Structure 1
Amino acid sequence: MTFSSRLRVIFRSKASRTLDRLEDPREALDDSYEQLVRMLQEVRVGLAEVATAKKRIELQGEEMGARHQRLADQANEALNQGREDLARTALERRSLLEGQVASLRDQYTTLQKQQAQLQDNERRLAERVAAFRTEKESIKASYAASEAQVKANEAAAGLGSQMSDVGVTLERAKDRIMQMQARAAATDDLLASGALSDLTAPPDADLTRQLSSGTTAAEVDRQLRALKEARAARSGRPAGSGGSEPEDWLRIGDGPQSP
């Protein structure tokens, strides 16, 4: 596999892992759940605002009701005092207040219907959110179990993007080992033939090595001739006359010796 081919394999594996993360259904489920929760929160905020407005109108209506009763009492008191003009004024104000209370009552009824509708929507949406949450967690658990099983099966079979990366790394390591082995063998051949000199060796070390090799060969030839002469000489001697002395080892290498 060439270097460009390895790069393509690595790029495809990493791109595949990125797409898998982007297409993870667990993230999509979590996003949908968060959207439902935000919708539920908005409905509850709206419900609280409607309830607040309704309560404000209710308090205003109670205040108007108290004023309506007070104007009626003032009209009666004015008649008792013979002040019909004041009684008329109180009744006129009371009549005008009744129109305001009727308008306020209509607003209160509208808000009451809106509150009931929002409460119903909030209840149904809350039930939907709870059911979706339960189903979401079940799906996520099933997906996680399936993903773990797939990874285990791919690892056992030597498949998957991670195993592809491992295979590429292993192949690259094998190529490097073969290159180093070939280089080591080539340098051994060059050193043995003398074509590659040892830069750390003393000057003229190659000449010394070749002269030493020739001297060793000459010494071996000399010892071989001596061995043949000694065997020929022993053939005419009595047995046991060619034994060695205990101190003979001290003279090894001192000079020409018969084996």
Structure 2
Amino acid sequence: MGIFSRFTDIINSNINSLLDKAEDPEKMVRLIIQEMEDTLVEVRSSSAKTLADKKELARQIARYQKDAEQWQEKAELALSKGREDLARAALVERGKAADSAAALEDELAHVDEHIAKLQDEITQLQEKLADAKARQKAIIMREKTASSRLKVKRNVDSNKIDDALSRFDRYERKIDDLEAQVEAHDLGSKSLSDEIAELENDENIDNELEALKAKLNSKEEK
């Protein structure tokens, strides 16, 4: 199983858990990034161990190859000394060493292939992690903005506001009725100040009338 398969399983499991618990997206984003970082550390550790195993394989191959060369030399020496039986035995041992080296070389080829894929996946994960961190702040800001808008929309669309406005309308109508009642009382009664003001107004009119009469009499005499 590749690291992305395991990583996807981990993330999906945590996302489903968060959704079931109605956790906020900000926590979910932080958890996803944390899982990516933990996975990256784990994979790098695994990669380092694989590289160490590769070096050990290479040393074993070198030893078997050296053994094969030495058995070849021994076979040649035995043959030169007329010991064909020893030469034959040495060649058998050389074959065993060569077969062991070849088997380990095949294993090493698989290890190299695995390491190459692992390095590619690590690079992809690093890119995804960098992208997630770059987008983390924007995602959190979008979530907070959307949540705020949702609260506003719920309040605007809520019947509570309509009810409150209706109560305001009723209060205004009551105040209008009270003011109308006060004005009605004012129409039917006069205060002392109002009566005195009327007397002063009548006196002024009388004075203006006498002045007008005097002016007309003066014209007739002329």
So what's the TM-score if we normalise by structure 1?
0.45
Number of residue pairs matched? 133
Distance in 1, Cα, partners of 2:67 & 2:92? 13
Matching residue of 2:71: 71
Query: Per residue, is there more helix in 1 or in 2?
Result: 2
CA distance in 1, matches of 2:23, 2:122: 32
| Deviation for aligned residue 1:91 | 0.5
**Residue 27 of structure 1 aligns to a residue in which SS?**
helix
Runs of 4+ aligned residues of structure 1 deviating over 6 Å after TM superposition are none
Give the fraction of aligned pairs with identical amino acids, expressed as a percent.
28
Measure, in 1, the Cα distance between the counterparts of 2:128 and 2:118. Answer: 15
What is the 5 A alignment of 1:205-216?
none
The alignment partner of 1:82 has SS state of: coil
Cα distance between partner residues in 1 of 2:85 and 2:31? 71
| Alignment correspondent of 1:130 | 130
- Whether 1:37 aligns to 2:68 is no
Q: In the alignment, does 2:101 pair up with 1:83? A: no
8 Å Cα contact 2:60/2:101 also seen in 1:
no
Q: Output the aligned Cα RMSD.
A: 3.0
CA distance in 2, matches of 1:138, 1:59: 51
Alpha-carbon deviation of 1:82?
Answer: 2.2
1:115: Cα distance to partner?
0.8
Within 1, Cα distance between the matches of 2:34 and 2:92? Answer: 57
User: How many Å separate the matches in 2 of 1:137 and 1:66?
Assistant: 59
Aligned residue for 1:46?
Answer: 46
Q: Which residue is equivalent to 1:116?
A: 116
Match of residue 9 from structure 1: none
Any residues of structure 2 matched to 1:51-62 within 5 Å, and which? 51-62=51-62
| Structure 2: distance between partners of 1:143 and 1:92 | 73
Stretches of structure 1 that go unaligned for 5 or more consecutive residues are 1-21, 155-259
Q: How does 1:1-259 map to 2 (within 5 A)?
A: 23-141=23-141, 146=145
The TM-score, its normalising length taken from structure 2, stands at 0.52
Question: Equivalents in 2 of 1:27, 1:136: separation in Å?
Answer: 11
What is the Cα deviation at residue 45 of structure 1? Answer: 2.1
Larger radius of gyration: 1
Using the alignment, how far apart are the partners of 2:133 and 2:64 within structure 1? 48
Give the C-alpha shift of residue 139 in structure 1: 2.6
Rounded Cα–Cα distance in structure 2 between residues aligned with 1:71 and 1:40: 46
